[in-house]
Amino acid sequence: ETAIDAASDAAFELDAGALGLRGALLLRGQNLPPMPKLASCVRLAMQGTLQAALGPSLQGLRVRVRPGGGGSELAKTCGSGAFPFSFAALPPSAEVSEALVAHLLLEADHEGAVCFVAELQAAMDQSLPPGESSGGVKVQLELFPRT
């Protein structure tokens, strides 16, 4: 999702931060799509991962992903060949936010292997020419403290 203006983007980030649904992730891999496409793939993967956590009842979930780690420790420590992103998510109701935070913490503990890596791999493979594969990808995920 793209921001309409700076004020709406800031409000989105504040609301997501209050729910504990802001963070950063770091990708490493081979044959990854170029940055604009990679950011789109990360957004699709994050949205798919969070929807998988709660099933079809999670209609209206909004996810924003930005290249760069948003000042996170992950972004500060990443070297060449690594791609940092910041993300924020807003569910349709605050009641489901704790379940989404728990799922993201599980993803962080398992380096995205619960759902995120599979969702990302599928999105990246769809973005490549037929017959090409993006190869393996490694993920580190960090949730920011609630604001």
Check: CB of residue 3 under 8 Å from CB of residue 9. yes
Whether residue 67 has pLDDT greater than 70: yes
Backbone angles phi, psi at 97, to 5 degrees: -65, -40
Q: Exposed (0-12), middle (13-18) or buried (19+): which is 134, by Cβ within 10 Å?
A: buried
Domain borders along the chain are 6-143
Helix H or strand E encompassing 65: strand 62-67
30-39 pLDDT, tens digit per residue, is 888 888 999 9
Query: Residue 70 pLDDT > 70, yes or no?
Result: no
- pLDDT tops 60 at residue 1: no
pLDDT band of residue 82 (cuts 50, 70, 90) is confident
Both tokens of residue 41? 């793939």
Express each pLDDT in 85-125 by its tens digit.
999 999 998 899 999 999 999 999 999 999 999 999 999 98
pLDDT of residue 72: 66
For residue 74, pLDDT over 70 is answered with no
Q: Please tell me the predicted confidence (pLDDT) of residue 96.
A: 92
**What local confidence, expressed as pLDDT, does residue 16 receive?**
96
Q: Answer whether residue 5 shows pLDDT above 90.
A: no
Give which of 60, 61, 38, 53 is closest to 121, Cα–Cα: 38
What is the distance between the alpha carbons of residues 22 and 141, in angstroms, rounded to a whole number?
11
C-alpha pair distances (Å), 144 with each of 16, 37, 47, 87: 10, 25, 18, 10
With a pLDDT cut of 70, the percent of the chain lying above it is 90
Distance CA 145, CA 147 (A): 6
Mean pLDDT value across the chain: 88
pLDDT of residue 109: 97
The C-alpha atoms of residue 20 and residue 22 are separated, in whole angstroms, by 6
Backbone angles phi, psi at 110, to 5 degrees: -110, 20
CATH 2.60.40 fits 6-143, yes or no: no
Cβ 65 vs Cβ 119: under 8 Å? no
